[in-house]
Amino acid sequence: MAKSIMLQGTASNVGKSILVAALCRIFHQDGYKVAPFKAQNMTQNSITREGYEMGSILVLQAQAAGVEPRVEMNPILLKPASDASSRVVVLGRPLGEAMSARDYHLGKNLALLTDIKKALKCLRQDYEIIVIEGAGSPAEVNLKERDLANMRTARLAEAPVLLVADIDRGGALASIVGTLELLDPEERDIVQGIIINKFRGDLSLLKPALDFLEEKTGKPVLGVIPFIDLNLPEEDSLCCKYPDQYSDDKVEIETELDRLADTCRSSMDMKRIYEIVVGN
């Protein structure tokens, strides 16, 4: 049965998707059979492959892992139809008309937990490491009870969590401390480390802040990732083309994924991360 590790964020757009791709590539380079997983993904950007629809970011992450994308990597896809409704796609197949956010969260979403369990079980049987991406923040108190994508998935996968914050947008220390404070004690115990993403400047000047975080939260800072100017699409602007169909694009993406992995490997405590994964 595969080991798992999960990246959750203090907010949306902190860079979880790209860091999942980085870890997929690092584990792949180190000889592991690895797959990405995102239980519930909300995006307009999807691809249809062999008649099944899935989020485009999972295609990029699968490429980073050196494997073919599968709908099990993204069992629930929400495609916004308006500010308050989405099309719901389950294991690649749409569930009829668009559904209001209220109807989904109060009536449908927990029923989809069975599909998430089946997808995760399939991947854990076929791969050695599953790198899981959360969605938004695990500390949205109005949504936590019915949240499929964060701590519920971490528990299903028995996955230790690394909490990611974007320091470039400001307020990273407060968002880390606040997120951990809003988690239940058992959820807080699942978090095994902190990743600071998109750092610019002199790392030595950040050291007092890192020491403060470790003392305040009791969680180690396992990486400070520099701001990387990559020619890789972010999830919200990801092209819907499947890279295998465009060889020039695929070669360029492969080069960028290797550069991403090299930067992240040198910026994270991979020895500790491997201990967390193997010890899971």
Kindly report the CATH number assigned to the domain that includes residue 92.
Answer: 3.40.50.300
Closest CA to 249 of 259, 258, 239, 234: 239
Q: Is-above-0.95 flag for pTM? A: no
Of 39, 41, 233, 218, nearest to 131 (Cα)?
A: 39
> What single DSSP character describes residue 268?
B
Residue 279 inside a domain? The answer is no
Q: With 90 as the cut, is the pLDDT of residue 154 above it?
A: yes
Q: In the chain, pLDDT over 70 holds for what percent of residues?
A: 93
Residue 234's pLDDT is 56
Q: How many domains does the chain have?
A: 1
What pLDDT is attached to residue 243? 43
* 202 domain residue, yes or no: yes
Tokens 């500790």 found at: 272
Task: Give the pLDDT band (50/70/90) at residue 278.
Answer: confident
- Average model confidence (pLDDT) across the chain: 90
Residue 247 pairs in a beta bridge with none
> Which residues, other chains included, contact 8 with Cβ-Cβ below 8 Å and sequence gap of 6+?
16, 134, 137, 138, 150, 151, 154, 161, 162, 163, 164, 191
More confidently predicted of 102 and 261? 261
In a domain, 280, yes or no: no
Domain assignment present for residue 28? The answer is yes
Whether residue 227 is predicted with pLDDT greater than 60 in this model: the reply is yes
Task: Give the separation between CA 261 and CA 19, rounded to whole angstroms.
Answer: 9
The pLDDT value given to residue 48: 83
pLDDT grade, residue 142 (50/70/90)?
confident
Beta bridge partners of 187: none
Residue 260 forms part of a structural domain? yes
Tell me the average pLDDT across 54-72: 94
Residue 261, domain member (yes or no): yes
Least confidently predicted of 23-27, 79-83, 114-118, 183-187: 79-83
Least confident of 42-46, 49-53, 249-253, 261-265: 249-253
Domain encompassing residue 87: 3-274
Please report the pLDDT score of residue 102 as a whole number.
79
Q: State whether residue 110 is helix, strand or coil.
A: helix
For 50, which DSSP code? T
User: Three-state DSSP class for 162?
Assistant: strand
Averaged over 138-158, what is the pLDDT?
A: 92
Q: How far apart are CA 206 and CA 165, in angstroms?
A: 14
